Structure 1
Amino acid sequence: MQRQKAGHFINVSSVAGHQIGPDFAVYAATKHAVRAQSEGLRQEVNPTTSARR
């Protein structure tokens, strides 16, 4: 992707990454981790964009 200067990351998560309910803490944590990893990669690829979209 770096060589061709184009590409897409596609990550699938869940609403549990945003809303946490009782008895779903571990599941919600894994979905939040997908969001955090996606945001980190986005910033690494294009650090000039804002942190919030």
Structure 2
Amino acid sequence: GLRKWRIVQDGTSLWWEIQSRNKRSVCLDLKSPEGRDVVLTLAKEADVVIEN
């Protein structure tokens, strides 16, 4: 995939660095009240929310 295309430094390709810049991720337990609270807080300001 893209991660293996022209590895530049630290095992990461330039293409991957460009495509992934400014992306942030977080893992939350949506079954817990605390996790749900965090999701609701973050979703108010997020441009995109992806759930898996």
Q: TM-score, normalised by structure 1?
A: 0.33
Q: Identify the structure with the greater strand proportion.
A: 2
Q: Identify the structure with the greater helix proportion.
A: 1
Q: TM-score, normalised by structure 2?
A: 0.34
Higher relative contact order (CA 8 A, sep 6+): 1
